[in-house]
């Protein structure tokens, strides 16, 4: 695999718009690096969702698990997570393990040479000496981009997957959210034409930002952003929605919008990004989903959350069949396995094997 990013200087790359950048991240119709949501087309979302389903079904049988487990047994993945994580970290671990990959990890720079003053660039280049894939979570927006370019110029240009970068993007969470919506609306004509409502800290929630962008690849999807003014979604996202012709609404009326939604995507307040005096816990209290709200929710809509939750959804709601956040979490493992399998070009082999098992 040759990384198309290797052909451009850092300054020229920085000058490009997102769609031009996206072209330099793909190789033969698949992702070489995964940086941001804008690089996924509708076609890719359909392909990855279909592959996730094939993997999920294959993993139910011993033969299927054995086949999957040898697909990438010769490859190693490095999980470089310098920001707290439970779900994303573990679901990537599980996804790699499903495909038989060996994994290594650095989660605390205090126990790596960064403590001695090594730069992140040198750390990432070091990982690329030993591993074939780097999965990276960072508090710094833009770092994944920089590191992907740096590696592309090196003698071992291994792929990087963004597992959450700053307040900016969380593309693989958005993939699992799309996969959850695909599955939820499987018998209702798919995601096209649905109304998706985002609630909570939309200003700093990177999962909302990435998912909102992926939803623009579907036809006639309406997006409703419900938040107090100080936590409303950024203009940069709204500009992209307008450019894509997406119908959206900004609201602060949580109750009113609930009956209109086919999916409600709740989020927590991201206090880790607080600037002193910017927001308080109270400002979000009116935007929490309780059993009382279940009555307003239409019978075939779904309630989602990227987790962790901090009171935005009462645990009393968990028993309702429309609460799909636990399934959403597990979907992350399948779609991440599909993404990695596809990046390493074992997707066709997996699909062929699943057909022969099915015969």
| CB nearer ligand ASP, residue 42 or residue 87 | 87
Cβ-proximal residues to 13 (8 Å cutoff; 6+ apart), any chain: 5, 21, 24, 145, 149
User: Is 222 assigned a catalytic role?
Assistant: no
| CB nearer ligand ASP, residue 72 or residue 174 | 174
Say whether residue 170 binds ligand ASP (CB under 6 A).
yes
For residue 141, give the DSSP letter.
T
Catalytic residue selected from 44, 170, 183, 194? 170
β pairing state of 30-31 and 26-27? antiparallel
Instruction: Check if the beta carbon of residue 167 is closer than 8 Å to that of residue 142.
Output: no
CA distance 61 to 57: 8
CA distance 327 to 17: 35
Report CA-CA distances (Å) from 260 to 221, 248, 301, 311, 340.
12, 13, 9, 23, 36
Say whether residue 164 binds ligand ASP (CB under 6 A).
yes
User: Is 116 assigned a catalytic role?
Assistant: yes
| CB nearer ligand ASP, residue 159 or residue 306 | 306
Instruction: Check if the beta carbon of residue 113 is closer than 8 Å to that of residue 140.
Output: no
* Cis amide linkage into residue 40, ω under 30° from 0: no
* Ramachandran angles phi, psi of 221, nearest 5°: -85, 130
Say whether residue 207 binds ligand ASP (CB under 6 A).
yes
Contact track, ligand ASP, 224-263, x by CB under 6 A: ----------------------------------------
How many positions of this chain bind ligand ASP (CB under 6 A)?
Answer: 7
| CB nearer ligand ASP, residue 58 or residue 214 | 214
Say whether residue 206 binds ligand ASP (CB under 6 A).
yes
Catalytic residue selected from 42, 57, 76, 87? 87
CA distance 233 to 283: 15
| CB nearer ligand ASP, residue 194 or residue 206 | 206
3-state secondary structure of 250: strand
Q: How far is the CB of 207 from ligand ASP (least distance, A)?
A: 5
Strand partners for 26: 31
Longest dimension (CA), the chain: 63
Cβ-proximal residues to 214 (8 Å cutoff; 6+ apart), any chain: 37, 40, 45, 174, 175, 177, 178
| CB nearer ligand ASP, residue 157 or residue 164 | 164
Contact track, ligand ASP, 141-160, x by CB under 6 A: --------------------
Say whether residue 204 binds ligand ASP (CB under 6 A).
no
CA distance 242 to 113: 45
Q: How far is the CB of 56 from ligand ASP (least distance, A)?
A: 22
Contacts to ligand ASP from residues 290-329, by CB under 6 A: 306
User: Is 23 assigned a catalytic role?
Assistant: no
User: Is 88 assigned a catalytic role?
Assistant: yes
Q: How far is the CB of 169 from ligand ASP (least distance, A)?
A: 9
User: Is 137 assigned a catalytic role?
Assistant: yes
Q: How far is the CB of 306 from ligand ASP (least distance, A)?
A: 4
Residues involved in catalysis:
87-88, 116, 137, 170
Q: Which residues bind ligand ASP (CB under 6 A)?
A: 164, 170, 206-207, 267-268, 306
């Amino acid at each position: 695999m040759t990384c198309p990013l290797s052909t451009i200087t850092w300054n020229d790359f920085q000058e490009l718009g997102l769609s031009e950048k996206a072209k330099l991240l793909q190789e033969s119709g698949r992702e070489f690096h995964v940086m941001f949501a804008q690089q996924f087309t509708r076609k890719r979302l359909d392909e990855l969702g279909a592959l996730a389903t094939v993997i999920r079904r294959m993993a139910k049988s011993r033969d299927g698990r054995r086949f999957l487990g040898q697909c990438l047994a010769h490859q190693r993945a490095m999980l470089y997570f310098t920001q707290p994580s439970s779900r994303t970290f573990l679901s990537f671990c599980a996804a790699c393990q499903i495909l038989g990959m060996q994994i290594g990890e650095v989660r605390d720079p205090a126990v790596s040479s960064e403590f001695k003053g090594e730069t992140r660039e040198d750390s990432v280049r070091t990982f690329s000496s030993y591993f074939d894939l780097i999965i990276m979570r960072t508090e710094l927006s833009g770092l994944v981009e920089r590191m992907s370019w740096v590696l592309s110029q090196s003698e071992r240009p291994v792929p990087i997957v963004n597992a959450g970068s700053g307040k900016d993007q969380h593309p693989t969470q958005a993939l699992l959210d799309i996969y959850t919506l695909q599955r939820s609306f499987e018998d209702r004509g798919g995601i096209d034409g649905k109304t998706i409502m985002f609630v909570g800290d939309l200003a700093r929630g990177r999962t909302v930002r990435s998912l909102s962008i992926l939803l623009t690849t579907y036809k006639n999807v309406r997006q409703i952003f419900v938040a107090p003014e100080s936590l409303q979604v950024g203009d940069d996202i709204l500009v992209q929605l307008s450019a894509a012709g997406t119908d959206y609404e900004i609201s602060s009326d949580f109750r009113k919008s609930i009956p209109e939604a086919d999916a409600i995507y709740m989020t927590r307040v991201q206090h880790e990004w607080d600037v002193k005096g910017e927001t308080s816990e109270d400002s979000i209290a009116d935007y929490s989903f309780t059993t009382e709200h279940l009555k307003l929710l239409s019978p075939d809509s779904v309630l989602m959350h990227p987790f962790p939750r901090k009171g935005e959804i009462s645990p009393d709601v968990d028993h309702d069949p429309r609460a799909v956040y636990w399934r959403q979490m597990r979907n992350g493992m399948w779609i991440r396995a599909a993404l990695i399998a596809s990046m390493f070009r074992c997707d066709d082999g997996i699909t062929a094997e699943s057909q022969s098992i099915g015969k």
